[in-house]
């Protein structure tokens, strides 16, 4: 794909927080287990505010509670925006999945079927010929009954499926679908594998879009997204925080943050300043912190090393190369701790605690502080130790001026 074509291609996030995200072990680690309907509404509103228009849900066949939630979330989403939204049901190639998904209001289907050797033997337990016949029949008849319905089809575990088997399956459904997926269901792929498969699919199926779904078992999911988009993929599956099975998938905000470098036009398509608030919203629901591995986070503007802290006090760009402000992170954080240097300790005691302190005194306090950092822990914070040292040295606060009126007073007698 040429650079010009890449620049003209609209890239879409397909958010799967309400499907793959609910399968994340983190929901069990935080004892959340399942998002409530009200929590889902908050997250859905945040995604729509961000500019996401493709939302994936479970197929209603997974349970009555999910079916009812999908109905209500689709109705709720329509009250939030006049933009066209795609409500996508993640479905097996099974008529019941399809029918019930359409009944609850989904206007798109994300269909899947596995034909890898392992799937044939242990999961779907269908031969390649049986799988091809099933997919062709179900998807062909669905297209005939619903000419305008958005259809995506994915061969599960695509990167462990022999290419000739993948092509046989995709050849059968290609005439009926809008999009073909290439899920790396178990996180096997490397960027070079992604580039090769995308190029092969684009050459063989030029009339449909491509979608990628990368799991992070090897920590390569985001790198694989970048390779896929460079090679011509239009749709990128992601979730808030990257929540999904096992080690997850790329995060919505991480994908946008990284794609923006070469696709600045995303700023017109997405409200990027809502990235960090969306991450904080998820943190409030799960009762934990935004992951330290999340690019769009306050953690990514937090500095603990003394050399870093000194530089950032003078010029943030020295150790902050990325403009996180545009993604909603409008603060940075300098953490007092065992590695802090005298510059930050001077700044903290003078500007935050309002002590009458000189730079020389700050340097002396720093030396004592570093000699006593073994005292820092749950029972004594770094700030408490610093104030204890400063107080023992007789350093006092600046005398505070009397409060002055903030507006002119008039005699109205």
Specify the CATH number for the domain of residue 146.
3.20.20.70
Looking at the fold, whether 324 and 272 belong to one and the same domain comes out as no
Looking at the fold, whether 210 and 355 belong to one and the same domain comes out as no
pLDDT in tens, 215-271: 999 999 999 999 999 999 999 999 999 999 999 999 999 999 999 999 999 999 999
Query: How many Cβ atoms sit within 10 Å of the Cβ of residue 390?
Result: 22
Looking at the fold, whether 76 and 222 belong to one and the same domain comes out as yes
Looking at the fold, whether 176 and 313 belong to one and the same domain comes out as no
Q: Is residue 118 part of a domain?
A: yes
Q: Is residue 44 part of a domain?
A: yes
Looking at the fold, whether 70 and 212 belong to one and the same domain comes out as yes
List helix spans (H) across 94-190. 95-103, 117-122, 128-145, 163-173
Which among 251, 256, 255 has a CA at the least distance from the CA of 239? Answer: 251
- At residue 163 the predicted structure's pLDDT band, cuts being 50, 70 and 90, is very high
Which among 332, 400, 336 has a CA at the least distance from the CA of 362? Answer: 336
Q: Is residue 56 part of a domain?
A: yes
Looking at the fold, whether 282 and 313 belong to one and the same domain comes out as no
Strand partners, 90: 58, 110
Q: Is residue 404 part of a domain?
A: no
Is-contact 169 115, C-beta < 8 A?
A: yes
Average pLDDT over residues 347-360: 83
Is-contact 114 154, C-beta < 8 A?
A: no
Tell me the Cα Rg of the chain.
27
User: How high does pLDDT run on average in the chain?
Assistant: 88
What global pTM score does this model have? Answer: 0.80
In the chain, the number of structural domains is 3
Q: Is residue 413 part of a domain?
A: no
Q: Using the structure block, give the residue that is written with the tokens 């109705």.
A: 75
The total number of residues written for the chain in this structure: 413
Range of the domain at 374: 342-392
Q: Is residue 402 part of a domain?
A: no
Looking at the fold, whether 208 and 302 belong to one and the same domain comes out as no
What is the rounded CA–CA span in Å between residue 86 and residue 407? 53
Looking at the fold, whether 27 and 133 belong to one and the same domain comes out as yes
What is the rounded CA–CA span in Å between residue 214 and residue 182? 9
Which among 108, 99, 134 has a CA at the least distance from the CA of 120? Answer: 134
Is-contact 17 43, C-beta < 8 A?
A: yes
pLDDT in tens, 74-93: 999 999 999 999 999 999 99
């Amino acid at each position: 794909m040429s650079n010009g074509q890449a620049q003209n291609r609209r890239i879409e996030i397909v958010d799967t927080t309400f499907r793959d995200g609910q399968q994340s072990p983190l929901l069990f680690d935080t004892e959340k287990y399942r998002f409530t309907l009200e929590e889902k509404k908050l997250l859905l509103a945040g995604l729509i505010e961000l500019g996401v228009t493709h939302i994936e849900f479970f197929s209603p066949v997974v349970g009555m509670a999910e079916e009812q939630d999908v109905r209500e979330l689709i109705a709720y989403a329509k009250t939030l925006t006049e933009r066209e939204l795609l409500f996508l049901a993640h479905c097996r190639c099974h008529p019941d999945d399809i029918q019930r998904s359409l009944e609850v209001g989904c206007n798109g289907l994300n269909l899947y079927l596995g034909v890898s050797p392992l799937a044939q033997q242990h999961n779907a337990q269908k031969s390649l010929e049986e799988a091809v016949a099933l997919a062709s029949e179900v998807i062909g008849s669905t297209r005939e009954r619903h000419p305008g319905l958005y259809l995506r089809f994915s061969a599960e575990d695509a990167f462990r499926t022999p290419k000739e088997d993948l092509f046989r399956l995709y050849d059968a459904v290609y005439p009926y679908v809008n999009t073909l997926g290439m899920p790396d269901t178990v996180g096997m792929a490397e960027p070079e594998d992604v580039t090769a498969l995308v190029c092969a699919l684009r050459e063989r199926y030029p009339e449909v879009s491509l979608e990628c779904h990368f799991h992070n078992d090897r920590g390569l999911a985001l790198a694989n997204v970048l390779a896929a988009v460079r090679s011509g993929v239009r749709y990128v599956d992601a979730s808030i925080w990257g929540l999904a099975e096992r080690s997850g998938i790329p995060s919505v905000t991480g994908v946008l943050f990284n794609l923006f470098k070469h696709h600045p036009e995303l700023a017109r398509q997405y409200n990027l300043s809502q990235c960090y608030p969306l991450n904080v919203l998820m943190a409030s629901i799960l009762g934990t912190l935004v992951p330290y591995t999340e690019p769009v986070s306050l953690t990514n503007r937090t500095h603990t090393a003394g050399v870093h802290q000194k530089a950032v006090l003078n010029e943030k760009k020295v150790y902050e190369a990325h403009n996180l402000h545009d993604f909603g992170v409008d603060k940075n954080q300098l953490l007092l701790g065992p590695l802090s240097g005298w510059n930050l300790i001077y700044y903290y005691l003078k500007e935050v605690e309002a002590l009458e302190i000189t730079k020389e005194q700050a340097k002396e306090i720093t030396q004592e502080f570093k000699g006593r950092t073994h005292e820092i822990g749950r029972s004594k914070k770094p700030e408490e130790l610093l104030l204890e040292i400063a107080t023992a040295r007789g350093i006092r606060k600046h005398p505070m001026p009397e409060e002055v009126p903030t507006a002119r007073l008039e005699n109205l007698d």
